Chains A and B, each alone.
Chain A
Amino acid sequence: MTTGGTYIASSLVESDGRTLEPSRARLMRDLVVAEWLKIRSLRSTYYLLAVLPLPIVLGGGLALSAAGSWERLSGQGRSGFDPSAAGGTALQVTYLVLAAFGILVITSESTTGMLRMTLTAVPRRRSLLTAKALVVGVVSLAAGQVSSFAVFFVSQAVFGTRGIGVTLASPYALATVLGAGFSCMVMGLVGLGVGTVLRSSAGAFIAIFALLFVVPALISLLPAPWDGRIGSLTLPMASNLLPGRIPGAWLPPAGAVLVLLGYVALALAAASVAITRRDP
């Protein structure tokens, strides 16, 4: 630490004066682990994750209700009934929870002085955002897929008692389940982007709520065929179009994937501009 009263300025400077530059991969790994620690060391994370089993129970309830109405359906109604998607409505709760998770990953810092402290450790703001996006993406994808599979199995267990259950091998079933899990990741990342731009937990949550529910409702008021076409570009509809089970859909599954990734790209690009241009 001290050498003859003269302080050697930085631990990164070797005795011969060369500086030890850690590799980019090493730097990013440290940032990702730090972000993971941040999430794990806050109670709000656990409160949020505690809500995640709710949609699974809700999925079972919705399946029970759908199975009851199936018995009253005519033959044509029964042929249009898709048991693999019937529990999916419950996953909208999961979307909201994971969007809130994405929002909190940034607003828990930007609404306290923590972001300033973080930036004195990590002055490269885009790297910080990248690390946050990696953690939010992986966590929300994992939580989303687990929730999606759980909702599927619970609702098929319910349908199974009426003899109308399907398996993952049934047409569109696996695509439906994987698509919903993928959409959860999209929601987490869009939440992160919107939270970075708006710097307010409540404001960002309202924006996400609007994207999921208000905007689609308004677009449904447009005259045909625009209601369906523009409607396909909304977050919930693009997510519904992922498995490709809706006949005559304007947007094919690949298109739906691109639309959802477009939301992520747009949200994170806006976040990148916001975090680099604005002072914390």
Chain B
Amino acid sequence: MKTFLFGKKPTADELIEVESQGLSRSKEIWMRLMRDKSSMISLGVIVILVLVAIFANLLINKSLVTEQNVAERIQGPSAKHWFGTDLYGRDIFARVVYGSRISLSIGIFTVIISTTIGGLLGAVAAYYGGVTDSIIMRITDVFLAIPEQLLAMTVVAALGATPLSVIAALSVAVIPNRTRLVRSAVLGIVDSQYVEAARAVGMKSQGIILKEIIPNTLGPIIVVSTQGIASIILTVSSLSYLGVGIQPPTPEWGSIIFEAREFLRIAPYMILLPGLVIVLTALAFNLVGDGLRDALDPRLKD
């Protein structure tokens, strides 16, 4: 059996061969994903972004992020300053590279926290039903009644505008959404035979939720989470731009644009280049999400 991990694109025949051999489901999904060009390119973009964020200090000297150089202020893109320089003569490319640490980690951590908490709440609500379900869902309804972005803003306002409180605020805003999603996914399988069988052999409720129910709802959760990273990165940058998120001089992508907003007409590169990075990142996560959805359920693909 050939392995296709990171290898060449599998052909349709090879896929059928693999499917007929009854490979594990995750491998099968990975194969289907590999056949989708835009997902693979996007995945490449994400890997590069994450590597750049992790190894930013090896690529670019950290002092460039804050180093002001009045002699070189407001210069367009050049070989020395790839994205040009800002009002204070700081290198915008360096700021964007270091900003990726903040933007990406807020996106990823928020998704992990909100999906874990929201997922558990949703699974518990759907599994136990009755009063537990009512209590969880009524509280969720209250949170859902406030538009996500507004809720995040008010929490940031209360907790202060540090990256940690932004993660907390966004998690609070996103959890209800995930609770509802997972609850409806679990409701669909809670009466299925394998859950009944697990109960019949005497498995405990926690075990059934963690080992039987959650693994079987992972598909839609993974898709929503992947695209959730994109939407959170966009929300974070919007919060910073509105002046209620990460504050300058911290180089979050939105706050880099916030600082440059007065220069839209004179020096649009200051806004367009960091903006392009935001768009590419969000696009990559969205496309991988689309690809995953098709790979998980090929019937949905048109």
Q: Do A and B come from one complex?
A: no
